[in-house]
Amino acid sequence: MKLLKPSWVNHNGKPIFSVDIHPDGTKFATGGQGEDSGKVVIWNMAPVLREEDERNENIPKLLCQMDNHLACVNCVRWSNNGLYLASGGDDKLVMVWKRAAFIGPSTVFGSSSKLANVEQWRCVMILRNHTGDVMDVAWSPHDVWLASCSVDNTIVIWNARKFPEIVMTLKGHTGLVKGLTWDPVGKYIASQADDRSLKVWRTMDWQLETNITKPFSECGGTTHVLRLSWSPDGQYLVSAHAMNNSGPTAQIIERDGWKTNMDFVGHRKAVTVVKFNPKIFKKKQKNGSTPKPSCPYCCCAVGSKDRSLSVWLTSLKRPLVVIHDLFDKSIMDITWTLNGLGLLVCSMDGTVAFLDFSQDELGDPLNEEEKNAIHQNIYGKSLAITMESQLSSTIIENPEMLKYQQERQGNQNPNEAQGIGPENQTPKLTNVLNGESLEDIRKNLLKKQVETRTADGRRRITPLCIAQLDTADFLPALFNSVPILPGSSASTQLTPQISSDSSTANSLGLRPSHDPTTTSPNKTAEDNKDSGTAAVNSIGMKSNLLLTSASKIEPMKALDSRFTERSKAMPGVTSVPLTIGITPLDRVKDSSSVKEPKGKDETSSDSEDKIMVKSIAKRKGEMEGAEVVEKRKKGRPRKDAKTMPFPQTPVEPSRLTTPIAVLKLPTPSIQKSFSTQVSTDGVTYLEVENEVSVVSGSRLSQLKWSREGREWDVLLPSRIIIAAGSSNVVAVACEDRTLSVFTACGRRLIPSIILPVPMSALHCSGHFVMALTASAMLSVWDVQKQTALVKNESLNPILSGTDATVSQSFLTQQGVAVVSLSNGKTYCFNSSLETWNLIADKQDSLVQCTDFRNCVSAQDALGSMGPLALTQGRNLSAGRLASRLSSTPHHLQQGMTLAFLEKQLSSALILLSASEYRHWLLIYARFLVNEGEMSKLFLFNRSEWGLELLTSKNNEKSTIKVVCMIPGYTFHIF
Amino acid sequence: MAKVQVLNVAVLDNPSPFGNPFQFEVTFECMEDLPEDLEWKIIYVGSAESEEHDQTLDSVLVGPVPAGRHMFVFQADAPNTALIPESDAVGVTVVLITCTYRGQEFIRIGYYVNNEYTDTELRENPPLKPDYGQLQRNILASNPRVTRFHINWEGCAEKMEDSENVDPAPNSMLPPSCTPGKAPPLGLLPDNSMDCL
């Protein structure tokens, strides 16, 4: 083992609270106190690893520092994919950083400091929710979620795919929450708080799985952090500060039953941080020795307020190494390199230390296949598959999962990844300058820049965009696939779009020709092949982890004396073994035991230490059984290319049995009971209970309607699959392929409608009922007038030729059926023309290039409410890009804006959405006036028929009044 | 944290005759799309003695601003000589560039300006009444003084979170309904407009 304290890693003497090594191992981040702010610094790893790099002045040590946090930074964590860095601080904020690849070194304008940032990391997201200091942040496996915990006693789970969406706020701690760790399997998240408890939460429903208090009852809330850690095999959770017989310990908690029978003993003061090595190891095979099946084990580093660090192998009863007086103050954070052989530790005293182990000391790290085989064996599934099934409700998951798998295959060659040092990466500019050099542009900037006058006569300059931020995945479609000029084809690559608009957020981003289901089963099969050998391994490993010791007080005494002996060494490195003080297990439970092979590295022959090994075969069987049951309960949505679960129905699709349909839409499965909210008033609910009673052999189902105390219920002879309602009608689709419609008072309106195939989606609005069947046929009925507006119209025209699936469907108040596809396009069916009309397209180049903001008045700046806004997302501000590009001439943009506005008008018209029509009409009129488009203005005067049409259809008095004064013209619209 | 970072300001046409318009080429970077325009102002400090003589040379809206790096040239006419005290016409004074978002000033960049006669004769014996036609304006471009203020980027001035970071611009105290653009009366300019220098 080598020990290094790189003195150049510092925050000018201010405390360093957190350290984290980047997954690619080329850099690491520190977080802590800055001059008058919080500070995050990104450092180059190479000078830490190699002395010659440290001496080489051409190799930068500091890569980037960010002073954006207003107060001390308590935690920095890289995402697992290495693209993002999350930091949490005393300013109650969580910031997410991303590297801006397009910018070279820069200094801060106006600052005297000549220190340039070699890499540019910019804050792409600020997550505000906590009302107190953020103490710890943690990315979930595969970066699906980001968790943050705070002194406000809560844990917030952020949707890392759709920042700043909050998935859940976990409440239950009654003290400052100071540490978080995700279960590597993805099933749980654990938190430790000052309220003397450690809580484990399920990720499936975000409810409390268990609350562990016993080992913490003696603890005082005196540690700054309580960073706990989960072992890479998922079997053990190790807490920070716990107490056992008045001695500070790190409590080992078993996944199986959350038993707390073992702990790491030896530190003299509270344990602040525990960090498992990401690797699982097996004993180094020595030449000449018989190749016995070696037992995998884990490695864990423990840091304490007593300023010492201990590193443990779960195959040894004593620590591998204990280092005293490494720092002047408490250890605050520990991070392992991904290869498992390096370790960075930081301290309140403002320094960091690097420990470098050899494979002789730690053992041979298992490769990813072996690790997966262990997971496969313990959990019955590999991690990747686990994630997929677990997140089946997260629709956007699939392409991401696929990407992850591809990435992981790519990462199998770690050498390649290592080769990419920071100096090899030339900053690339997202060129938007169309070949012109910056110098050329600067020469003519004043002449070229677009200057307009606002309505009130002010000068308005449109700045020239010289570089886009490469923060694509946090921004709407804008930067993903922007066809800047009309005529260029829209990119076919569908990047999952993160949109602030919740109604579109559900859209699927299935990548054509990559079907996750085709890869997963293969994977399973491979994993199954390996499971034979892995079984042996994991049993061995388990036995290794289950060390016990009869004596738990004596080792501590011995340890204390050793600690004092060595305390003068600066910094003292010793190999004095601590001893695991482990309370006896439930040793009676298992009679059969697996003999643990005696480790050769063991230096101690402490006879008092007994090794308690128990057979896991039985327990494993139990557990796997449980898993199977659970899986069956949860089910998994089929991932046919043509099917997808409907986001608005909280039920899962089941296997489809209809053979007739070419196009298939998923149908919800039957649930025992469910409830839905009706319409938008928020007080009306529909509750369905299937098989509520059995009368003479037939099973009855109950539909219950309630609104503010009033309620009615009806009984149906078949099980109800979907229920929907509006303020006027309630419709239910049953298992026997019937559709029943009731009034809002519970009276049956029409006898059961027989459907040819099962129902996929059902919507009610006003007096209209919309049915989308599993064979992708659409029907809309006006149940009051008893007429069909749309008769069995196929979705074939919009679905054929694409790999898109239906992501959302709804019915407007005027009975217009709207269907959104996963490719970002939204269509409505016009019953008079009997055509499908495209009303919204996320990748429409026109949307990106329009600028009509001058024409939006203050009162309608918020946008309009209505079906059009719902499908397009109200945030149309995503557009207006082109105006900033030097190459877009004003007249071209004007033309595109006009085309866009006219499209909006016609879409609002076809949706019979009067308020939106009015909204866009006003903007259109103002735009025409601003741009002086006289000819269109006169034409436009005649286009009022649209408004008349709408107002007559809507039976409402709607007037629109625009008075525009132009020299020589007075123009009115009423 | 600030959504807009000013990366550079290049002073164009410098030095130049006093009557030439000011030209600043501003490069800034924006973290995310700004729903509202930025408002930039050039303020000429007529006299170091009193802010009474400050002149807002021009104010301009800059937008729309999507996320990314942008540049523009801000050109404003030379100050109205009638408003400059004769005693202060020659010598060192200051020009300020400020930027506000939603009525809140978040950056203030100050430059020293030296106005002097190019003619040696005039320089040695300056006329009592300044001859603006002969004056040369030299902006000390290499030494900008930058003051940054924390503002509430999400809302208006009233919802300011950080009370300790009080925005010195008085127009930030105006209700948001006040239409920006009407150049504030000169007397309203901040007391501490020289503080940053």
Q: Residue B72 pairs with which residues in a beta bridge?
A: B26
Single out the residue of A478, A488, A484, A449 nearest to residue A886, CA to CA.
Answer: A449
Average pLDDT of chain A is 70
Q: Does residue B179 sit within a domain?
A: no
Give me the CATH number covering residue B49: 2.60.40.1490
Report the alpha-carbon distance of residue B153 to residue A169 in Å, rounded: 25
Chain A CB within 8 Å of residue B9 CB: yes
Going by pLDDT thresholds of 50, 70 and 90, the confidence category of residue A220 is: confident
State residue A765's pLDDT score.
Answer: 85
H/E run at residue A667: strand A667-668
* CB nearest A877 (choices: B35, B146, B181): B35
Could you tell me which residue, A276 or B155, shows the higher pLDDT? Answer: A276
pLDDT mean over A952-972: 42
Single out the residue of A503, A447, A500 nearest to residue A476, CA to CA.
Answer: A500
**A109: chain B residues, CB-CB within 8 Å:** 5-9, 144, 146
Q: Does residue B163 sit within a domain?
A: no
End-to-end CA distance of chain A: 84
Question: What does the pLDDT look like over A822-854, one tens digit per residue?
Answer: 887 888 888 888 888 888 877 766 666 666 766
Q: Does residue B79 sit within a domain?
A: yes
Contact flag A853-B145 (C-beta cutoff 8 Å) = no
The strand ranges marked E within A194-235 are 197-202, 208-212, 229-230
CA distance to partner chain B, nearest, from residue A435 (Å): 17
How many CB pairs below 8 Å do chains A and B form together? 119
Contact flag B75-A471 (C-beta cutoff 8 Å) = no
State residue A190's pLDDT score.
Answer: 94
Contact flag A109-B37 (C-beta cutoff 8 Å) = no
Could you tell me which residue, A490 or A45, shows the higher pLDDT? Answer: A45
Chain B CB within 8 Å of residue A680 CB: no
Task: At B36, give phi and psi (nearest 5°).
Answer: -125, 165
The strand ranges marked E within A23-72 are 27-33, 38-44, 62-66
Going by pLDDT thresholds of 50, 70 and 90, the confidence category of residue A800 is: confident
Contact flag A446-B75 (C-beta cutoff 8 Å) = yes
H/E run at residue A122: strand A121-128
Going by pLDDT thresholds of 50, 70 and 90, the confidence category of residue A940 is: low
Task: At A66, give phi and psi (nearest 5°).
Answer: -125, 120
- Percent of chain A predicted with pLDDT > 90: 17
Q: Does residue B197 sit within a domain?
A: no
CA distance to partner chain B, nearest, from residue A883 (Å): 8
Task: At A699, give phi and psi (nearest 5°).
Answer: -95, 130
Chain A CB within 8 Å of residue B134 CB: no
Give the DSSP letter string of A680-726: TTSSEEEEEEEEEEEETTEEEEEEEEEETTEEEEEEESS-EEEEEE-
State residue B150's pLDDT score.
Answer: 78
DSSP state of A233: T
* CB nearest B73 (choices: A124, A445, A468): A445
Please list, in sequence order, all residues whose beta carbon lies within 8 angstroms of the beta carbon of residue B121, skipping any fewer than 6 positions away. Answer: none
Report the alpha-carbon distance of residue A121 to residue A63 in Å, rounded: 9
**B22: chain A residues, CB-CB within 8 Å:** none
Residue type at A803? D
Single out the residue of A821, A801, A167, A799 nearest to residue A494, CA to CA.
Answer: A821
Going by pLDDT thresholds of 50, 70 and 90, the confidence category of residue B22 is: very high
The three-state secondary structure class of B39 is: strand
**A461: chain B residues, CB-CB within 8 Å:** 60-62, 72, 74
CA distance to partner chain B, nearest, from residue A886 (Å): 11
Please list, in sequence order, all residues whose beta carbon lies within 8 angstroms of the beta carbon of residue A70, skipping any fewer than 6 positions away. Answer: A37, A38, A89, A91, A93, B1, B150, B162
Chain A CB within 8 Å of residue B18 CB: no
Look at residue A229 and tell me whether its pLDDT is greater than 70: yes
User: Could you list the residue range(s) of the whole structural domain that residue B53 is in?
Assistant: 4-148
Chain A CB within 8 Å of residue B178 CB: no
Could you tell me which residue, A547 or A709, shows the higher pLDDT? Answer: A709
Chain B CB within 8 Å of residue A478 CB: yes
If one counts the domains in chain B, the total is 1
Question: What does the pLDDT look like over B98-147, one tens digit per residue?
Answer: 999 999 998 999 998 999 898 888 888 888 888 888 899 999 888 888 88
Which domains, and CATH codes, for chain A? 2-284+293-368 (2.130.10.10), 673-840 (2.130.10.10), 845-973 (no CATH)
Going by pLDDT thresholds of 50, 70 and 90, the confidence category of residue A79 is: very high
State residue A314's pLDDT score.
Answer: 85
CB of A68 closer than 8 Å to CB of A50: no
Could you tell me which residue, A215 or A928, shows the higher pLDDT? Answer: A215
Chain A CB within 8 Å of residue B32 CB: yes
**B63: chain A residues, CB-CB within 8 Å:** 460, 462-463, 853
Q: Does residue B58 sit within a domain?
A: yes
Report the alpha-carbon distance of residue A320 to residue A247 in Å, rounded: 21
Going by pLDDT thresholds of 50, 70 and 90, the confidence category of residue A374 is: confident
Look at residue B38 and tell me whether its pLDDT is greater than 90: yes
The strand ranges marked E within A290-348 are 299-304, 309-313, 321-324, 331-336, 342-347
Contact flag A445-B7 (C-beta cutoff 8 Å) = no
Chain B CB within 8 Å of residue A464 CB: yes
Alpha helices in A31-117 (DSSP H): 46-49, 51-55
Single out the residue of A684, A736, A687 nearest to residue A714, CA to CA.
Answer: A687
CB of A719 closer than 8 Å to CB of A712: no
Contact flag B70-A458 (C-beta cutoff 8 Å) = no
Highest mean pLDDT among A220-224, A360-364, B1-5, B168-172: A360-364
DSSP strand pairing (B54-62 vs A459-462): parallel
Look at residue A332 and tell me whether its pLDDT is greater than 70: yes
* CB nearest A469 (choices: B6, B67, B146): B67
State residue A933's pLDDT score.
Answer: 65
In this prediction, does ipTM exceed 0.90?
Answer: no
Which of A356-360, A646-650, A684-688, B121-125 is least confident?
A: A646-650
State the Cα torsion A323-A326-A331-A332 to the nearest 10°: -120
* CB nearest B23 (choices: A109, A446, A463): A446
Q: Produce one character per residue of A263-302: b if its CB has 16 or more CB atoms within 10 Å, e if not.
A: bbbbbbebbbbbbbbbbbbbbbeeeeeeeeebbbbbbbbb
pLDDT mean over A277-295: 69
Question: What does the pLDDT look like over A393-436, one tens digit per residue?
Answer: 333 333 444 454 445 444 444 443 333 333 333 333 344 455 56
Structure tokens at A348: 């309140």
Question: What does the pLDDT look like over A879-932, one tens digit per residue?
Answer: 444 444 444 566 777 787 888 888 888 888 888 877 777 777 777 777 777 776
Which of A354-363, A471-480, A813-822 is least confident?
A: A471-480
Single out the residue of A260, A246, A184 nearest to residue A218, CA to CA.
Answer: A246
Question: What does the pLDDT look like over B159-182, one tens digit per residue?
Answer: 444 434 444 444 433 333 333 443
Instruction: Answer left, alpha or beta for residue B31, where phi above 0 means left and psi between -120 and 50 means alpha.
Output: alpha
* C-alpha separations of A464 from A835, A882, B68 in Å: 42, 10, 10
**Which chain A residue shows the shortest CA-CA distance from B148?**
A110
State residue B166's pLDDT score.
Answer: 40
State residue A330's pLDDT score.
Answer: 92
Going by pLDDT thresholds of 50, 70 and 90, the confidence category of residue A527 is: very low
Highest mean pLDDT among A250-259, A518-527, A700-709: A250-259
CB of A320 closer than 8 Å to CB of A312: yes
State the Cα torsion A624-A630-A634-A635 to the nearest 10°: 40
State residue B43's pLDDT score.
Answer: 93
CA distance to partner chain A, nearest, from residue B49 (Å): 26
Give the DSSP letter string of A947-973: HHHHHHHHT------EEEEETTEEEEE
Structure tokens at A837: 């009309």
Q: Does residue B192 sit within a domain?
A: no
Q: Does residue B87 sit within a domain?
A: yes
Other C-beta atoms lying within 10 Å of the C-beta of residue A319: 24
Look at residue A168 and tell me whether its pLDDT is greater than 70: yes
**Which chain A residue shows the shortest CA-CA distance from B35?**
A877
Report the alpha-carbon distance of residue A6 to residue B106 in Å, rounded: 38
Q: Does residue B131 sit within a domain?
A: yes
Single out the residue of A4, A9, A45 nearest to residue A350, CA to CA.
Answer: A9
**B73: chain A residues, CB-CB within 8 Å:** 445-446, 449
Report the alpha-carbon distance of residue A741 to residue A732 in Å, rounded: 7
- SS3 string of A515-552? CHHHHHHHHHHHHHHHHHHHHHHHHHHHHHHCCCCCCC
Chain A CB within 8 Å of residue B155 CB: no
CB of A267 closer than 8 Å to CB of A580: no
* CB nearest B8 (choices: A109, A461, A469): A109
Other C-beta atoms lying within 10 Å of the C-beta of residue A751: 9
Highest mean pLDDT among A68-72, A154-158, B69-73: A154-158
pLDDT mean over A165-184: 92
